């Protein structure tokens, strides 16, 4: 488990991180997203105490790392493994030799080091590439060597700082699957820092948005996606272009506001209203076993007339948050 309490980092008069509070439990992947300059890289450095916070605390498994002496901190850092955007492998060392570095630094015996390195390379699916040099490996393979090295000292917390940035989709999927397996098998608390929203949907249990050094929104991933007014939810599932409804129709933007939305809600809505309902566009998927997303629909007004309250009430009964879309031509007119 890792917990930040009022973590603040300033450089002169510039506040880079502003009183951050969050907790990542063992067995949880906590994603941190945000635009360039939001403070994500500084956060990674402060969590590992590579940068000393100006104030606040970094607590790992109940121990406040912020108050430790230099000697104590060197020992405490072993509880935190880090995966960087650039794999950081030494070009003149093989994959196995790169993984062995932290063990050699601690003076682990050669026999124990060899055994541990073999276990780790097998864990990341690279036993056959133990003798390969970094230039002989793909980007995804190099990143997996980096993950193996981060696990060498058996940490309880793993920091992934843009670890999938620049990887192709297949390599990204492999790294994501590996991180989720490690979370489950080793009960790790993982802080996953990224700007890739699609990756967040596949890897995270919870998520926070960092903006100008402050956490402006956070929560369990599914809960965030169910919030119709969530800026973070909209960023994770952006609206897609859709067709224009007929002039006689009214369009509605609907968001899955609960886990109980029936799969056939579109046909149920049409049956209840006794009028045609069309799907104009949607972004809907399954996350942690729950359906989340949003859709734009059009409802013919031939039978409903201007009774928009009836449409809205029917959508709410189906578990959907609804907002009527006002055509550009009538913006400013009474709704």
Which CATH number belongs to the domain containing residue 74 in this structure? 3.40.50.300
Same domain as 22, residue 120: yes
- Please report the pLDDT score of residue 206 as a whole number: 97
**Sign (positive/negative) of CA torsion 252, 253, 257, 262?**
positive
Residue 84: pLDDT band with limits 50, 70, 90: confident
In the predicted model, is pLDDT for residue 200 greater than 80?
yes
Residue 72 lies inside a defined structural domain of this protein: yes
Enumerate residues 6+ apart whose C-beta is below 8 A from 130: 94, 95, 96, 117, 118, 121
- Please report the pLDDT score of residue 333 as a whole number: 43
- Please report the pLDDT score of residue 326 as a whole number: 66
Q: What is the mean pLDDT of residues 207-222?
A: 96
Among 230, 263, 267, 254, which Cα is nearest to 313's?
254
Residue 232 lies inside a defined structural domain of this protein: no
Site of tokens 């509070």: 21
Task: Check residues 86 and 63 and name the one with the higher pLDDT.
Answer: 63
Residue 227 lies inside a defined structural domain of this protein: no
- Please report the pLDDT score of residue 76 as a whole number: 86
- Residue 207 CB-density burial (10 A; 0-12 exposed, 13-18 middle, 19+ buried): buried
Residue 234 lies inside a defined structural domain of this protein: no
- Please report the pLDDT score of residue 103 as a whole number: 96
Same domain as 138, residue 56: yes
Distance CA 42, CA 4 (A): 14
In the predicted model, is pLDDT for residue 50 greater than 60?
yes
Residue 83: pLDDT band with limits 50, 70, 90: very high
**What is the pTM for the complete model shown?**
0.86
Q: What is the mean pLDDT of residues 277-301?
A: 90
Residue 320 lies inside a defined structural domain of this protein: yes
Q: What is the mean pLDDT of residues 88-102?
A: 96
Q: What is the mean pLDDT of residues 301-308?
A: 62
Same domain as 96, residue 212: yes
CATH number where 319 lies: 3.30.70.260
Residue 302: pLDDT band with limits 50, 70, 90: low
Domain count, the chain: 2
Q: What is the mean pLDDT of residues 73-93?
A: 89
CA angle, residues 178, 209, 24, in degrees to nearest 5: 50
Task: Check residues 93 and 305 and name the one with the higher pLDDT.
Answer: 93
- Please report the pLDDT score of residue 257 as a whole number: 87
Overall size of the chain counted in residues = 335
- Please report the pLDDT score of residue 182 as a whole number: 95
Q: In the predicted model, what is the mean pLDDT of the chain? A: 90
- Please report the pLDDT score of residue 239 as a whole number: 79
Task: Check residues 100 and 238 and name the one with the higher pLDDT.
Answer: 100
Same domain as 304, residue 193: no
In the predicted model, is pLDDT for residue 248 greater than 70?
no
pLDDT tens by residue, 158-186: 999 999 988 999 999 999 999 999 999 99
- How many CB atoms neighbour CB 162 within 10 A? 18
Provide the residue range defining the domain that includes 255: 239-330
Residue 75: pLDDT band with limits 50, 70, 90: confident
């Amino acid at each position: 488990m890792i917990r930040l309490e009022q973590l603040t980092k300033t450089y002169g008069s510039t506040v880079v991180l502003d009183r951050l509070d969050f907790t990542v439990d063992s067995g949880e992947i906590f994603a941190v997203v945000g635009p360039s300059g939001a403070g994500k890289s500084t956060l990674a450095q402060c969590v590992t105490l590579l940068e000393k916070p100006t104030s606040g605390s970094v607590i790992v498994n109940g121990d406040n790392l912020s108050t430790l002496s230099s000697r104590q901190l060197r020992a405490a850092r072993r509880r935190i493994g880090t995966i960087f955007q650039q794999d950081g492998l030494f070009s003149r060392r093989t994959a196995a030799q790169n993984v062995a570095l932290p063990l050699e630094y601690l003076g682990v015996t050669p026999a124990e080091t060899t055994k541990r390195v073999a276990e780790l390379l097998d864990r990341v699916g690279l036993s056959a590439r133990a003798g390969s040099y970094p230039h002989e490996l793909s980007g995804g393979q190099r990143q997996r060597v980096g993950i193996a090295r981060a696990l060498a000292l058996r940490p309880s917390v793993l920091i992934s700082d843009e670890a999938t940035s620049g990887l192709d989709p297949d390599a990204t999927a492999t790294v994501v699957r590996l991180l989720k397996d490690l979370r489950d098998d080793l009960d790790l608390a993982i802080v996953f820092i990224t700007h890739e929203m699609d990756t967040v949907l596949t890897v995270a249990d919870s998520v926070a948005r960092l903006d100008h050094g402050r956490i402006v929104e956070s929560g369990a991933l599914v809960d965030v996606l169910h919030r119709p007014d969530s800026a973070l939810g909209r960023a994770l599932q952006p609206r897609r272009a859709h067709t224009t409804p007929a002039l006689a129709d009214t369009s509605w933007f609907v968001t899955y506001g609960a886990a109980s939305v029936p799969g056939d809600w579109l046909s149920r809505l049409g049956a209840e209203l006794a009028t045609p309902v069309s799907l104009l566009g949607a972004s809907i998927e399954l996350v942690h076993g729950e359906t989340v997303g949003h859709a734009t629909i059009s409802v013919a007004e031939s039978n409903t007339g201007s009774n928009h309250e009836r449409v809205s009430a029917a959508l709410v009964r189906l578990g959907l948050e609804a907002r009527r879309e006002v055509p550009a031509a009538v913006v400013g007119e009474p709704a």
